[in-house]
Chains A and B, each alone.
Chain A
Amino acid sequence: MTQTVQDLVTVTIDERQVQVPKGTGIVETAASAGIEIPVFCYEPRLGAPVGACRMCLVEVEGMPKLQAGCTLTAQDGMIVKTARSSALAAEGQNSTLEFILVNHPLDCPVCDKGGECPLQDLTFRYGPGNTRMTFPKRTFEKPIPISPLIALDRERCILCYRCTRFSESVAEDGQLVAINRGAQSVIATFEDEPYKGHFSGNVTELCPVGALTSTQYRFEARPWEIQNVPTVCGLCPVGCNTAATTREGKVKRILSRNHPEVDEGWLCDKGRFAFDHLHARDRITTPLRKAGPRRFEELSWDDAIDTAEKLLRDGGSSTVTALSGNESVEEAYALAKVMRQGLSADSAVLPEEVPDALDSYRAPLSALREARTIAVYCDEPVVERAPVVELWLKAARRKGATITYGAPDGPVDALVTDQPGLTFGADNVYYLPRTPNGRGVTDAWSAAGDGEPVDGKPRVVVISGDEAATDPAVRAMAADAEIVIGIGMFQESFRGIADLVLPGTSYLERDGTTINLEGRLQRQRRAVLAPVPDVLAWLSKLGERFGVELSPHSSVVFDEISGKCFGGISYADIGERAELPAPAERPSSAERTSDPGETVAAARSAQGLRLVAYRPLFSGPAVDRTPELQFQRPSGDVQISREDAKKRGIRHGQNVTVTSNGTTVELRAHIARDLAAGTVRVAASDAGDLHASVEVTS
């Protein structure tokens, strides 16, 4: 990373000299001199600058006209004057703002963006104080819901094209476009279809005015009465850094907090919009006891802890704990400590096995973009399992990387896989866990004890989390057990299966740590108070009954685990944008190479097409309870590789029949390029009773 002297050029900005690498944008160059050049359309994350808004006009010595700072790059000896020192540039910026405001409705008092609006801020600083426009303003119908999640106000739009550029060059969905020409240009969705996609919500954050707003946040709060709590999303293993906007103790929206190594400021729509589940109608707010096949009754906390103690003592060491992978490290550790140290109940159903060897292939997600060759070896679509990883893959492809799907032929720079333990000799391996904190939960469980599980059928099963409670395998095990104790947020998850349910909390309501798919330890902060006591609080009480000492404070619990699992890092040192620990030492070469498991290989050689019934991103307890997200659910597609489709004469979008062993499902063919031949994918909710081997016919 060392810059040689030759690479650096000297630029004078407002009489301040700075040295920057040749080719650096003038906006950045000025910033490095401590000078702000205001912008609207400029956003480096959207690709090459376009120079559309003309807010960044600067005067450059030797150039007759004002120049757009965003498209101009630093050359040696360049002398730039911004609006601070050039009357011409100041007049240029003032002109741009006047033109922008000529047709802008100036409805700041009723605009959701008001108070945190770049247009408002820059107008105050650089714009005209009054309007000289005396003609009727251009009007449009408004607001237009471009999807149930996003409202479009075309009158406020300043046509910076950030949203369309996001759609075209980041999400690559091509759904947002500009139509018409000149002053009549407007943003629209392609063919007026709703903007459906995994990342649509990002445009509400990119929009520098109140043109694209979240329907959930519409008229909900004003910027001076909110607090933004820095936290980390707990809905998938990427662990995007977020800020939860709260007002009067309620989460109102989720914004990105841009961790450049993890998410680069992008969020998926689940992470952004699914917070509504906090207010679900079936939210469990008190301990519940089974009072009939489909009925619960409330009981007091004292009774609940007494009952839990009694049931657990009955179950003893054969008790099995099923974890969901959504717990914080501290919650999982506290529960594990009660079970393992208090009851010697060492049997657990862990969300997944994550090999320690992965630590030696550790790399930040941002390194994916730098890779030249990438193999994606995933049964499930990457975007459904770890959505933002898909954006990194797209960024890599745009940068010229070769991405192959299925087992790579030769060595690759990076591997993205949903099979733990595979490396294919790649330099960096990104294993995509099934659950948001599967790695942390697994670590926490093993850190809490070292006893061996006892054999035998469990009498008592403890189910932690709604995700575990809705998992068919866990439910089957629960059905066989005499007693089931649940910990979770929603009644529906536990109805009919649990004898006792203790209230759980969401990732937005707790303090704690999680480990994302990179192996990065990150802190979640309590954005709002849960309507129920903290899980750690009652677990510490329950622990007391079994002689297990447990702090109700996550920081103390963390300190206890940190020494065992995280090299003794202190809670405070994790920081708001957590660093990724250096990779562990590589195991010997014998362990390094590994092949797909036999089962996978066997399945691939089987007759017909191998069916993967994937869990869509837009599914699960949180999404189920967010009405605005329902339109995002996959709707009857079967993903098939180009090769397999060609063989069967199937066209994209065509209706096809998927059959296996007498079961038939009608679906629509979706030719997917991220799919190796021999495999088809169907959302689990569409898969019905299909078996693992299917045939697709038109």
Chain B
Amino acid sequence: MATEVKKIVLAGTDDHDLTKLAEYEAVGGYKALPKARAMTPQEVTEELITSELRGRGGAFFPTGRKWSFVPSKEQIPKPHYLVVNADESEPGSFKDNEIMSRVPHRFIEGCLITAHSIDSKHVFVDIRGEYSGPYEILVNALEELKDRPEIRGDVTIVVHRGAGAYICGEETALLESLEGKRGQPRSKPPFPAISGLYASPTVVNNVETITTVPPIIEMGGAEYAKLGVPNTRGTRVVSLSGNVVNGGNYEIAPGMTVRAIIDELGGGIPDGRELKAVVPGGSSTVILTKDEIDVGYDFDSLGQLKTAMGSAGIVVLDDRCCIVQLGIRFSEFYEHESCGKCTPCREGTRWLTAILRKLEDGRATQADLDLLLDVCDRINGKCLCPLGDSDAIIIASYVAKFRDEFIAHIEEGGCPFGGESSLDHVLAPIAMHTHSPVAEVPA
């Protein structure tokens, strides 16, 4: 079966409790670290470049190249920082949760190797505040290393719990938040590699990326680059959820088709329903119709369909799903999570949600649909960071691929699915926090 893949990130988890240091060492853990430390930082970076590993957070930037941008301490005499983005908040993605929970030591080993490679003594893991489970496991794992100076070296690892903002998963907003400031993206350049945390050279990597580093050092970059398909090497941990029998995280070989992921790994659609659409890489990625799922799950193949692996959150939607409701659910999310810094995102996401609600309520006309697309157009490409763009891109993709359904909402004067939509079982509703924006200031 095509599902057979040699696990790399989650290797060993089938028969071992790798949260325990002893067991991790028993399966060869912490062996890559001395090997890497015996190499020069440049050699480690070279190895990563050879491996063709690309960032697993969603932007898919070549990891080794990112590291190579960090200037030497002679060029910029400031401390170097490694910041790990564990603020996994994309609707549909929960892979980092599982990685930290099941292979915390491999993750830590990755942190230590990366720190060596960029000549850093300080690692900050910014973990999503709600991830209390992985946090505990991570802290326990670090606790186990207290008496192992030969592993820790002179590197300090700080696990910082986020305060619950999606935007703090954007790397520069994450850095602002770590510095104790309001979590809002910075404008780039300067890029973090030059001026990141505390205006010092900083590498920001995703949990899965970092956890892939020790196996790469172990097997060698060239060996890793033999796995997968061009532009998507190694393995990928995907989060499968929605209307699928066996939801969960799966480590897959890139190139496997989306259909195979759903049918072979996920066990197909439950209740004898029909597939309607697939969100391939978390809420921010362009939707796939049921006719498009024979696409390989890799960067190039998805790219041809103008979508992406993103943070690998695959959400399966069956024929009960109302696409307008899906749009409202996601647009509400982006509206709620917009940081408020740049105008198009702050105002545009709110406007999009309002138009979508009007459509769902059956009060909209064709002009509103045109307006919806125009507002998407006016947001897209004009924002400071990708958050607002994402909302615009996905909503536009829903209209493009399911225009008939939008038209039906207009012509039938309401939602054709009525109360039948299955969305509540697929995606958690966005808790609309009650803000109290009006503060009374004593004069």
Listed in ascending order, the chain A residues whose CB lies under 8 Å from chain B are 49-55, 57, 64-66, 68, 71, 91-92, 95-96, 98-100, 102-103, 132-133, 135, 138, 140-141, 144-148, 154, 158-159, 161, 177-186, 188-189, 192-194
A141-B438 CB under 8 A given contacts A95-B382, A135-B354:
yes
14 contacts between A and B (CB under 8 A): A50-B187, A50-B341, A51-B342, A54-B342, A54-B382, A54-B383, A92-B382, A140-B437, A154-B437, A178-B182, A183-B340, A184-B435, A192-B442, A194-B441
B440 on the A face (CB < 8 A): yes
Nearest neighbor of B371 in chain A, beta-carbon distance: A132
Q: In whole angstroms, how far apart are the Cα atoms of A215 and B437 in the complex? A: 22
B344 on the A face (CB < 8 A): yes
Contact B440 A192 (CB under 8 A): yes
Q: Within the complex, what minimum Cβ distance (angstroms) separates B199 from chain A?
A: 10
Query: Which residues of chain B are near A146, meaning CB under 8 Å?
Result: 441
Query: Which residues of chain B are near A132, meaning CB under 8 Å?
Result: 371
Q: Within the complex, what minimum Cβ distance (angstroms) separates B167 from chain A?
A: 8
Residue among B339, B347, B371 facing the most chain A CB atoms (10 A cut-off): B347
A181-B338 CB under 8 A given contacts A54-B343, A95-B344, A99-B347:
yes
Contact B378 A182 (CB under 8 A): no
Interface string of B335-365 (1 = CB under 8 A from A): 1111111111011111100100010000000
Q: In whole angstroms, how far apart are the Cα atoms of A158 and B343 in the complex? A: 8
A192-B382 CB under 8 A given contacts A99-B343, A102-B351:
no
B384 on the A face (CB < 8 A): yes
B439 on the A face (CB < 8 A): yes
Residue among B342, B358, B438, B441 facing the most chain A CB atoms (10 A cut-off): B441
Contact B347 A100 (CB under 8 A): yes
Contact B343 A183 (CB under 8 A): no
Q: In whole angstroms, how far apart are the Cα atoms of A146 and B442 in the complex? A: 8
B204 on the A face (CB < 8 A): no
Nearest neighbor of A161 in chain B, beta-carbon distance: B341
B423 on the A face (CB < 8 A): no
Q: In whole angstroms, how far apart are the Cα atoms of A65 and B381 in the complex? A: 6
- Which residues of B362-388 are within 8 A (CB) of A? 371, 378-379, 381-384
Q: In whole angstroms, how far apart are the Cα atoms of A100 and B340 in the complex? A: 12
Query: Which residues of chain A are near B339, meaning CB under 8 Å?
Result: 181-182, 185
Query: Which residues of chain A are near B340, meaning CB under 8 Å?
Result: 159, 178, 180-185
Q: Within the complex, what minimum Cβ distance (angstroms) separates A687 from chain B?
A: 28
Residue among A55, A99, A141 facing the most chain B CB atoms (10 A cut-off): A99
Query: Which residues of chain B are near A194, meaning CB under 8 Å?
Result: 441-443
A182-B349 CB under 8 A given contacts A52-B384, A192-B441, A194-B441:
yes
Nearest neighbor of A151 in chain B, beta-carbon distance: B443
Listed in ascending order, the chain B residues whose CB lies under 8 Å from chain A are 165, 167, 182, 186-187, 335-344, 346-351, 354, 358, 371, 378-379, 381-384, 435, 437-443
Q: Within the complex, what minimum Cβ distance (angstroms) separates A514 from chain B?
A: 35
Query: Which residues of chain A are near B346, meaning CB under 8 Å?
Result: 99, 159, 182-183, 185
Q: Within the complex, what minimum Cβ distance (angstroms) separates B308 from chain A?
A: 16
Contact A180 B435 (CB under 8 A): yes
Q: Describe B's contact surface by its main secondary structure.
A: loop
A183-B338 CB under 8 A given contacts A54-B382, A95-B382, A132-B371:
yes
Query: Which residues of chain A are near B437, meaning CB under 8 Å?
Result: 140, 154, 179-180, 184, 186
Q: Within the complex, what minimum Cβ distance (angstroms) separates A118 from chain B?
A: 14
Contact A144 B348 (CB under 8 A): no
Partner of A100, one of B165, B337, B343, B358: B343
Contact A54 B351 (CB under 8 A): no
Q: Within the complex, what minimum Cβ distance (angstroms) separates B176 from chain A?
A: 11
Query: Which residues of chain B are near A54, meaning CB under 8 Å?
Result: 342-344, 382-384
Residue among A52, A140, A148 facing the most chain B CB atoms (10 A cut-off): A52
Q: In whole angstroms, how far apart are the Cα atoms of A159 and B341 in the complex? A: 7
Query: Which residues of chain A are near B350, meaning CB under 8 Å?
Result: 102-103, 138, 182-183
Contact A96 B441 (CB under 8 A): no
Query: Which residues of chain B are near A144, meaning CB under 8 Å?
Result: 438-441
Query: Which residues of chain B are near A154, meaning CB under 8 Å?
Result: 437
Nearest neighbor of A104 in chain B, beta-carbon distance: B347
4 closest Cβ contacts across the A-B interface? Answer: A185-B340, A51-B187, A182-B338, A95-B378
Query: Which residues of chain A are near B441, meaning CB under 8 Å?
Result: 144-147, 188-189, 192-194
Q: Within the complex, what minimum Cβ distance (angstroms) separates B172 from chain A?
A: 11
A96-B351 CB under 8 A given contacts A180-B435, A184-B435, A194-B442:
no
Query: Which residues of chain A are near B342, meaning CB under 8 Å?
Result: 51-54
Q: In whole angstroms, how far apart are the Cα atoms of A148 and B339 in the complex? A: 30
Nearest neighbor of A195 in chain B, beta-carbon distance: B441
Nearest neighbor of A65 in chain B, beta-carbon distance: B381
Query: Which residues of chain B are near A65, meaning CB under 8 Å?
Result: 381-382
Q: Within the complex, what minimum Cβ distance (angstroms) separates A67 from chain B?
A: 10
Contact B443 A99 (CB under 8 A): no
Q: In whole angstroms, how far apart are the Cα atoms of A188 and B439 in the complex? A: 7
Q: Within the complex, what minimum Cβ distance (angstroms) separates A181 from chain B?
A: 6
A145-B381 CB under 8 A given contacts A51-B342, A54-B343, A183-B338:
no
Q: In whole angstroms, how far apart are the Cα atoms of A407 and B24 in the complex? A: 61
Q: Within the complex, what minimum Cβ distance (angstroms) separates A153 from chain B?
A: 12
Nearest neighbor of A68 in chain B, beta-carbon distance: B187
Nearest neighbor of A149 in chain B, beta-carbon distance: B443
Q: In whole angstroms, how far apart are the Cα atoms of A71 and B160 in the complex? A: 30
Contact B378 A99 (CB under 8 A): yes
Query: Which residues of chain B are near A180, meaning CB under 8 Å?
Result: 340, 435, 437
Query: Which residues of chain A are near B187, meaning CB under 8 Å?
Result: 49-51, 68, 71
Q: In whole angstroms, how far apart are the Cα atoms of A690 and B443 in the complex? A: 32
Q: Within the complex, what minimum Cβ distance (angstroms) separates B346 from chain A?
A: 5
Contact A96 B343 (CB under 8 A): yes
Q: Within the complex, what minimum Cβ distance (angstroms) separates B375 from chain A?
A: 8
Q: In whole angstroms, how far apart are the Cα atoms of A52 and B385 in the complex? A: 10
Beyond A144-B440, A184-B435, 14 extra complex contacts between A and B, CB < 8 Å: A51-B187, A66-B381, A98-B378, A99-B346, A100-B347, A146-B441, A161-B341, A181-B338, A182-B335, A182-B340, A182-B346, A183-B350, A188-B439, A194-B443
Contact B343 A53 (CB under 8 A): yes
Nearest neighbor of B187 in chain A, beta-carbon distance: A51
Nearest neighbor of A70 in chain B, beta-carbon distance: B187
Q: In whole angstroms, how far apart are the Cα atoms of A52 and B266 in the complex? A: 43
Query: Which residues of chain A are near B382, meaning CB under 8 Å?
Result: 54, 57, 65-66, 92, 95-96
Query: Which residues of chain A are near B378, meaning CB under 8 Å?
Result: 91, 95, 98-99
Query: Which residues of chain A are near B165, meaning CB under 8 Å?
Result: 181
Nearest neighbor of B335 in chain A, beta-carbon distance: A182
Q: In whole angstroms, how far apart are the Cα atoms of A49 and B437 in the complex? A: 27
Nearest neighbor of A132 in chain B, beta-carbon distance: B371
Query: Which residues of chain A are near B439, meaning CB under 8 Å?
Result: 144, 179, 186, 188, 192
Query: Which residues of chain B are near A53, meaning CB under 8 Å?
Result: 342-343
Query: Which residues of chain A are near B371, meaning CB under 8 Å?
Result: 132
Q: Within the complex, what minimum Cβ distance (angstroms) separates B387 from chain A?
A: 10
Q: Within the complex, what minimum Cβ distance (angstroms) separates A74 from chain B?
A: 13
Q: Within the complex, what minimum Cβ distance (angstroms) separates B124 from chain A?
A: 23
Query: Which residues of chain A are near B381, meaning CB under 8 Å?
Result: 64-66
Query: Which residues of chain B are near A145, meaning CB under 8 Å?
Result: 441, 443
Query: Which residues of chain A are near B354, meaning CB under 8 Å?
Result: 135
Q: In whole angstroms, how far apart are the Cα atoms of A180 and B433 in the complex? A: 11
Q: In whole angstroms, how far apart are the Cα atoms of A55 and B342 in the complex? A: 10
Q: In whole angstroms, how far apart are the Cα atoms of A501 and B218 in the complex? A: 94
Q: In whole angstroms, how far apart are the Cα atoms of A180 and B165 in the complex? A: 11
Q: Within the complex, what minimum Cβ distance (angstroms) separates A532 from chain B?
A: 35
Q: In whole angstroms, how far apart are the Cα atoms of A179 and B437 in the complex? A: 8
Q: Within the complex, what minimum Cβ distance (angstroms) separates B293 from chain A?
A: 28
Q: Within the complex, what minimum Cβ distance (angstroms) separates B373 from chain A?
A: 12
Contact A102 B435 (CB under 8 A): no
Q: Within the complex, what minimum Cβ distance (angstroms) separates B173 from chain A?
A: 11
Q: Within the complex, what minimum Cβ distance (angstroms) separates B170 from chain A?
A: 13
Q: In whole angstroms, how far apart are the Cα atoms of A103 and B349 in the complex? A: 13
Query: Which residues of chain A are near B383, meaning CB under 8 Å?
Result: 54
Nearest neighbor of A183 in chain B, beta-carbon distance: B350
Q: Within the complex, what minimum Cβ distance (angstroms) separates A633 from chain B?
A: 16
